[in-house]
Structure 1
Amino acid sequence: MSKLELSLAIGNYDRCRPLIDGAVQIDGVNPVIMTLSPEEIFFRAFRGQEFDICELSLSSSTLQAAQGSFPYVGIPIFLSRAFRHTAIYCRTDRIQKPEDLKGRKIGLPEYQLTANVWVRAILQDDYGIAPSDVTWVRGGMSHAGRPEKIKIKLPDNVRVEDAPEGETISSLLAKGEIDGYVAPRAPDVPAGTPNIGWLFRDPVEAAKDYYRRTNIFPIMHILGVRRELADRHPWLPGAIYKAFEESKTKALEHLSETSATKITLPFVEERLKEARDLMGQDHWSYGIKANRHVLENFFKHHHAQGLSPRLVTPEDLFHPGTFEQFSL
């Protein structure tokens, strides 16, 4: 039987590089691999279903699963995870602590972005700031006029307004016309722009405290396979899961070998030890079993924030063939 030739669009992450380089194979698949930015992958996947296998936004996938319109089926490979305490910027001349954001204006590129769902969850759970307590200003980070990828209908008490024509949320923050900024990327402002900084002055310590209290390492992106392919080839989601798990294992083995630093950054070995001391050896876990509590927390907030019309479960989003793996 000849192998399936399938398009595969993912970010160029170290945990995927053994697969990208061909050191790891997907059983039964000859992939045509494209390494693209998440924004491009998501736009093309959700607007035109252009890829057979691809990285997907957890939020957009949850929204479409709740609506019954998800053209992919999820695979619990979490290509992007991040503590989003570093995603919240503010005007440091007027915002000293999270509670100061109540009644203020916060810019964001899209309301339903996964990072922004997690940020709103953190602000509500830890600081009592509900989504209805602020005014959200939607606009591009670097280019004006960014639209939502997926049409959403928010609760009546949530105020979302568009940035003025020709303005970005970065320019509005720099001018002081908004008080906060929430996005996966830092504000696009010149270095040294005054009065702009992280809301959490020590976001790493804030994130560690969050993990100690919740045991949550937020999931940003999942992997998806076109639903019609998974239906036609029920072995395919499991084969994809197996390959990406093996690729991550090889990447971590490479990173853990400390005779020579693998990435161009000092203190990498120390940071790796620090992460494992806090989070365990498998600090970047894949699969449902180790991450059900993370997913269910996200689904709860996604629904409560008015994004998903019903409460989604892991069983709604992920292929049943990926919930368990064989062991010897």
Structure 2
Amino acid sequence: MASNRPAPGAPFVPAQRTDDTVVYGGPRTDEGPWEEWNPTAETVRPVRGGRHRVAKQRGGLARGGLARSSTVLGVGVIAAVGAGGMATAQTGKPPVAISLPDLATFTDDGEDTAEPATAIEATPLSSLGVTPADSEQGTTDAGEALRARIMAQAESQQEQLDTKATEALLAAAEKEAAEAAEKAEQEAREKAAAEKKKAEEEAARKAEEERLAELARQFALPTSSYTLTSTYGQAGSLWSSGYHTGLDFAAPTGTLIKAVHSGTITQAGWDGSYGYKTVLTLDDGTEIWYAHQSSISVSVGQQVTTGDVIGRVGATGNVTGAHLHLEVHTGSGGGVDPLAWLRGKGLNP
């Protein structure tokens, strides 16, 4: 519009007042007479830019018409309710305030009314109907909820770490206990085996002692009051073979000579360098030779038992002094160590 159109002319009608007109405070004498005012282009200030003036929006937003403002308001409500609500729920921040444009009052023909434009107070759409205390409480609750979630997550992680540490300690303890148990079991087995072996050895020793005791009752030393001088296998020029073939019991002449075991006399008499010699053949074929005797008390074919006297110690034959020369020959004819043989029979010369 370029300008306001002039109002049509109207006839002047003087104010009609009667004395019986009731006016608050009584009749007024300072009123009237009224004159008709017909606005003209000179008396009416033109509208700048050819548009109706609209009060500026707070915050510097451009103000449009009522239809455009209503559209912006509807879209803003939807966006603010969705985004603002999500922001409040997700981040715990206070709701974003969305301002509404100040709307001017329009007439049906689009012209400004006489009343000045009134600005509509901006209200955050996401917190409509919520008091500041409620908003603050909601923010606080959201912050506390976030803090609680963080603390719960931290506690859960700590519990997981503690659980893993506990499980590691338990596993180490179980492993150590298993190793200790295995070691103890191994030691127990070794101890049991050692005790068993010791018991077996002790039993064997006792059995051997009993056997030797029984043999000792069956066998006897060839003489008494003696001293062992030359042993079996001893080398020297005194013997024609170059070594000693028996065991010498040095004893005074006339000391009794006994049968070491029961058997049969198979030789009795003089035998060159052996002097007077007696041969006792045992049941298993072993031969016992007694040499250098001063006298013989048995004859060939005679049966003797353990401990029977068969002669006396002397110094006959090739000798350097009175002694009993004792030799042991197996059934095959080979000689053995008399000392070892006697010990094998439970005797200890």
- If asked which structure has higher relative contact order (CA below 8 Å, sep 6+), I would say 1
Return the TM-score normalized by structure 1: 0.16
Larger Rg: 2
TM-score w.r.t. length of structure 2: 0.15
